[in-house]
Each structure stands twice: as structure tokens, then as C-alpha cells.
Amino acid sequence: METQIFKPDQIEAAAALIKAGQLVSFPTETVYGLGADATNETAVKQVYAAKGRPSDNPLIVTVTGQAMVEQYAEPLSAKAQALIKAFWPGSLTLILNLQPGKLSKAVTGGLSTAAFRNPANQTTLALIQAAGVPIVGPSANTSGKPSPTLAQHVYHDLKGKIAGIVDDGPAQVGVESTILDLTADVPTILRPGAVTEEDLEPVIGTVRSTHHKVGKTEVPKAPGMKYKHYAPDAQVYIVDHESDWPAALAWAQAQDYPVGAMAIDPVLAANQLPANVEAYTLGPDLASASHRLFAGLRHFDLESPVKGILTQGFADTGLGAAYMNRLNKSAGQVHFQK
């Protein structure tokens, strides 16, 4: 299969492929997604096949707004409507109860709930409108690999496996959306993202965060809860504190292979890098680090022969919770030990 590259002014051609049951990658403000008609079970199953994704890992349903959600979900609660008004379009995904039979179990992982998101990207909203249907939207990468923040990342992983990619430049946020379960007794964050607990609580009151690990026989309610994610070929080591970097770099210098170092500018400037260490800047602060994390992992995966990647950790609060959620998964919870 030839994978076509579309520009934002070629949305009608990309939408025609979606309507024909083909797969098209689309841009969002977080990462690039892999789109298929969410009402076409055959097309949805092709998403799992193209990504190599386990079939019990549910898919996010990408919509143009509340009206489209109401075609598939049960009547929206006051909290759901308040969140939609406050954060959509944007980086918040809501898990809602479905109307019976409205979406295939291939979308939901066999559950009676589905995750809905309205991205803050006009190109993708135009794509959905032109296709006339919601589209599933998992990240457009080989399952388990770092999420794509550029169209080139998608092409590397999925060329020949999907019909098209809509190239709208780099993603602006860089980590996937916050996933909030509104079917729980207390609204619960299942995946942290750019919309934080502190952002949500003024709108709907108490919000719970969970780091529940899904068992082998349990179906996760949201993507990324059960399987290893975001992992480059090289082992990632989390450097927990800025004071640990001299020891981490001394360890790197003792290795007989090249090592990557991903950190913010002040950390890189404060430390002398050995000859076998390649630096990748995460920018000036946590916000830029969250934006550049996946791009950095992709850089070392595709463009550099490193066999280990030292990566800066941050406090697990606010936006740091989203960053550390992704980093811990990419590292398999491996932290640098002095």
C-alpha cells in the first residue's frame, strides 16, 4: 500500500479515504493519531493490525464536539457538560457510558463505555466533519513505541500499512490527553495529561487520581493502562534529581557504548558531558520537557546509535504527573542508581 501525504488543504481527499474504510493519520495538539471510521468495525480492526496493538486495549473516539458525543453516549451528566464547556476542544478525554449497540466492541475493548475527545486542531476537526463520522484516534505509532509528534514519525512506523497521513506540522503539547473516567463514583484520572487535577476540581469538585495496574485478564478502561508504552530500543534510565547527574554521567563515561542524555538546558549547562554522551535538550523547563520528551526518544531511536538514555525526572505533581507517567512507562520503571 502506498501511504499518501496530505496537506491541510487536502482534507476532502483524506476524508474520502476514511469514508472508504481506510486508515489515515491525523494531527492533534498532543500527538498524531491513527484515524478510522469509528462506526466501521472492519476499519477499526485494521487499526489494531497496523499498530500491532492488543485488541483489549480500547480506542479513543475523536469527535467534533458535544453534539456528536450525544449520538453515541448516554445522556450527559451535569459534570460532563461542565467539563466539555470548560476544556473542549482540548487535551481532555472523557470516559462515558454508551447507548447500547452504538459502537462496536472493537472500539471499546468489549466494555460498555468509551473514551471521547474533541482535539484542539482545526485540521482534524475539518477531517471529521468532511468524513461525517467520529474517528478512532490512538497514537499513530507501532504499539509500544514513543508516540509520534511529527508526520515523519508516523511515516517511519506505518508507511505501507496505512492509506494516508495529514501533515500539519509538529504537535504543540507533546504528551497525550488527560483521560478522566466519569463512569466511576468519583471522577477518576486514568491517564494524566496537560489538563491536571488542579484544573479539573474547580469545575466539577473532587477528582481522584489512580495508578491502578491492570491485571493480565482485566480489560483496561483507557489506553496505556496495561501494556508497556513509549519505549525506544535503547534502555531509558530516569535520573531522579539534578544532583544525581554527575554520578549518572560518570556511569555513562565508563560504558563502552554511546549514551544519550535528555535534560533541560540548566542541567546540561551545569555538567560536563563525556565524549561518548550525546545531549538532547528538553528545553528550559518542565513545560518544554513535556513537549519534547517523545521527540527526544524518537531522535535516539531513529537517528543515534545509543544503547542507553539518561533522562531527567521531575516531581510527580501537576504537569509533572503527565511527564513522569510517560517517562516511567518508557523506562519500564528503571531509575538510575548511584
For residue range 241-290, what is the model confidence (pLDDT) as tens digits?
999 999 999 999 999 999 999 999 999 999 999 999 999 999 999 999 99
H helices present in 132-204, as ranges: 151-158, 197-204
Over range 212-235, report the average pLDDT.
64
Q: Name the residue ranges covered by the structural domains of the chain.
A: 4-209, 235-331
**pLDDT of 239 strictly over 70:** yes
Return the pLDDT at 53.
Answer: 77
Binned at pLDDT 50, 70 and 90, residue 222 comes out as low
Binding residues for L-threonine: 30, 117, 177
Return the pLDDT at 144.
Answer: 83
Return the pLDDT at 55.
Answer: 66
Among 211, 171, 162, which Cα is nearest to 31's? 171
| Four-way CATH pick for 4-209: 3.40.50.150, 3.30.565.10, 3.40.640.10, 3.90.870.10 | 3.90.870.10
CA 303 to chain centre: 21
pLDDT, one tens digit per residue, over 38-61 is: 999 999 999 999 998 776 678 999
| 142/48 Cα distance (integer angstroms) | 10
CB 55 within 8 A of CB 223: no
Over range 151-172, report the average pLDDT.
96
CB 239 within 8 A of CB 261: no
CB 6 within 8 A of CB 35: no
H helices present in 88-244, as ranges: 105-108, 122-131, 151-158, 197-204
**pLDDT of 226 strictly over 60:** no
Binding residues: 30, 53, 57, 113, 117, 139, 147, 177, 191, 230
- Of 54-58, 113-117, 325-329, the range with the highest mean pLDDT is 113-117
The CATH class for the domain spanning 235-331 reads alpha beta
| 198/112 Cα distance (integer angstroms) | 29
Confirm whether pTM is higher than 0.75: yes
**pLDDT of 232 strictly over 80:** yes
Binding residues for ATP: 53, 57, 113, 139, 147, 191, 230
**pLDDT of 103 strictly over 70:** yes
Return the pLDDT at 57.
Answer: 76
